[in-house]
Structures are given as C-alpha cells and as structure tokens.
Amino acid sequence: MKELNLKYGCNPNQKPARIYMKNGDIPIDILNGNPGYINLLDAFNSWQLVKELKEATGRASAASFKHVSPAGAAIAVPLTESLKKVYYIDDTELTDIATAYIRARGADRMSSYGDFVALSEECDEQTAKYLSCEVSDGIIAPSYSKMALEILMKKRRGSYVIIQIDSNYTPNEIETKDIYGITFEQKRNDVSIAEDVLTNIPTNNKRIPNDAKRDLMISLIILKYTQSNSVCYVKDGQAIGIGAGQQSRIHCTRLAGNKADTWFLRQNSKVINLPFRKDIKRVDKDNAIDIYLSDDYMDILADGLWEPIFTEKPILFTKEEKKQWLTELTDVSLGSDAFFPFGDNIERARKSGVSYIAQTGGSIRDNDVIETCDKLGIAMVFTGIRLFHH
C-alpha cells in the first residue's frame, strides 16, 4: 500500500487528506477501523517512543498518546499492591506488556481518556481485556494474538482502530513537512539515549543509582516525542507527570509536578477506599477522584453533589494531610528537553520528590541551577543533548 485516504485532516473542513509514501509501501496494515489524521500522528510518534524504550531498557514498553504527546509511557516493572488498586487491577498475575500499558495509562488517567495506544510487543489477550474496559481510540503494535484481535475488534461498536506496524521499518534519514506551502527539511532526530549520556554530573552529589539512571533515560526518551517545551517526572519505570507544549519551562515543571502529585495522592488510603457506588464506571471514578483532590471539594460536600457517585459522604482529605502524604514521594527522576534557566524549576521539582535530574545544560545561569541542586542534595546530569520536538 503506497497511499491511504483519510476522512479529513486535523479538522473536518480540511479535505482532502491522505498519507502516502514517495518510495516503497506504507509500513502498516489497518486491521480494523478507519484511522484519522491525528490518530496516525499519534500512532507513528508513539510507536517510535516505545520502540526506543524497549531498545534502551530491554523491557516491554507502552505509551498512551493524546494530541501528539504522551499522556503516559512506561516499561514493564511489577505493580505494587496500592497501584493495582489505583489502576483498577484485580489481584492477578500480569503479562509484561499488560503491565507496561497499565502503568502508562495510570500516569495521568484523565489525560489518557480517548488515547491512542502503542505497544512494543505483541498485544496479548490480557492487554486487550484491560483495554476493553477503557475509553480509547486506537492501538498500534507489531502483532496481535488471535484472542486480542477478537476482543479489540468489538470496541467502539466495531470501529476501534487497530494498526499493525512492520517492526523492521527504518525511515529515511532526511524528513520533510510542508507549512503554509513551504517545505521544511531536516535530518531525522535519531540521537540515541543510553546510559553514556549520564556521565557529566556537575553537582556535589554524584550518586545516581541504577534504577534512577534507567528512569532518567526513560524520561529523556519520552521527551524526545513530547511537544516542547517539556519536562517529565519518572518513578519505577513509568512517567508520573508530563508537562508538554508550554512556552515557559517553569510552567512545564509545575504542570508535570502537579500531575505527579495527583498520581501519588491517588495511592493514599482515603482515595483508594472512597465509597463509590457499584454501578460507577472507571471514567466517572477518575473524574470524581480529580474533584475529591481539588481545593473545591468542600463546596461539593456542602452542595451534596457526592450523592450520585458515593454511597456515603467521603471523609475529607485536608490540605495538611495531602502535604504530609506528599513528603513520602521520593527518589523521583526528572528530565528536561532543554536547559533549566532558573533554580525555581529545581525547587518546584523537589516538592514532588525529585532526587535526580537530567537536562541539557549550557545556560548562562548553569551555576545558579547547580547551586540550587547542591542546596537540596539533588544529583544533576548535563546531557549536552537538546530534545525539542515540534
């Protein structure tokens, strides 16, 4: 197949729309559904991400994409008992690829609503069963088991997009795109993220454990496919907060940090044991938890809006209790797609448990940032690699 016609481009008024290859065949097969323009942008970006995560870590990898940036990404690291509850998993043995996707989606379940899924391995029955209970637009993987395919083809009333990609496909070194009738051309960003980019440590604290090195690599690979400016918080092999597409780096750091905080707050017993009615769907639970953790929750309690969701009025989770709980979030790794210009980024990151940082370096204020890290005991790497993505 050299060409695939699409319903429309980014918006319904943008017709005609298609993807095509100038040379050779398109390296995908559409097994089900009718992918749209944005579906395919998500599919191709997310596939590159999980492919590189697998190559860098040797573990099954997955991503949850929305609007050409990851809502979450992860490798297969076994789930804790609390995370199983937070991610709606029964006490069962999980396959590696199911674990990776469950972690990826769990990074930011609100943002993953209606996501596009990418898997580095064959989609198996267990992963498909989990996906069957989630709101998702499509999936890309190198292959599918027979049972997984049967399950996924029933999603969205049979319209769920299922794409199989040739894992051996290698794109051309030079890439182009047209903007306003003008063709842009550049070398494809094929920079390799491996442990050897983590050797330049200008801070007093130079100790970075192996798990933290792995998480720093994961954060950098995620950022390689995240709309810039961007930062990414990672813990235990999964993104826990991604800040994308902000003009100010401190806003990226705050946005991602707030998401990381929410991820950890969800593991508190008050949240895990919320008295949900039995007929409440996962997406409604996620929305309710988001409200429960917000500063407006006192007003909601007063208005009695909890009654359609809960069997009884939930116990208040006070600001003081949240602040105390967040002090237990530690050993988080943070990556940045470019240098940090000011130490305020470091100070905000520390509030979300960051102990290790990888950033480009090269700012005229590097000394100020290093000084802030030293004050807080953070180990920071200068990678010398910028990872802007647009």
Question: What is the tens place of the pLDDT at every residue in 305-354?
Answer: 788 899 998 988 999 999 999 999 999 999 999 999 999 999 999 999 99
Count Cα atoms within 13 angstroms, Cβ side, for 252. Answer: 28
Question: In the predicted model, is pLDDT for residue 161 greater than 90?
Answer: yes
229 catalytic residue (yes or no): yes
Strand segments, DSSP code E, in the chain are 3-6, 17-20, 28-32, 61-66, 69-75, 115-119, 136-141, 161-165, 174-179, 182-187, 230-235, 238-244, 332-336, 354-359, 379-382
For residue 5, cis peptide bond before it (omega within 30 degrees of 0): no
390 catalytic residue (yes or no): yes
Residues comprising the chain, all counted:
390
Question: In the predicted model, is pLDDT for residue 296 greater than 90?
Answer: no
In the chain, what are the helix, strand and coil shares in percent, each to the nearest 5? Answer: 35, 20, 40
- Catalytic-role residue among 32, 39, 229, 345: 229
For 277-289, what is each residue's pLDDT tens digit?
999 999 999 999 9
Distance CA 331, CA 78 (A): 17
pLDDT at 301 (0 to 100): 72
pLDDT at 2 (0 to 100): 87
Instruction: Kindly state the DSSP code that residue 271 receives in the 8-state scheme.
Output: H
Distance CA 284, CA 309 (A): 8
pLDDT at 298 (0 to 100): 77
What is the average pLDDT across 86-104? 93
Instruction: Kindly state the DSSP code that residue 294 receives in the 8-state scheme.
Output: S
Instruction: Kindly state the DSSP code that residue 314 receives in the 8-state scheme.
Output: P
Question: In the predicted model, is pLDDT for residue 304 greater than 80?
Answer: no
251 catalytic residue (yes or no): no
- Helices 249-265, 344-351: crossing angle, 10 deg rounding: 10
* pLDDT bucket at 1, cuts 50 / 70 / 90: confident
Quick count: other Cβ atoms within 10 Å of Cβ 270? 17
What is the average pLDDT across 181-209? 96
Which carries the bigger pLDDT value, residue 302 or residue 186?
186
Q: What is the mean pLDDT of the chain?
A: 95
pTM of the predicted structure, to 2 decimals = 0.95
- Catalytic-role residue among 45, 51, 54, 66: 66
15 catalytic residue (yes or no): no
Strand partners, 185: 176
pLDDT at 345 (0 to 100): 95
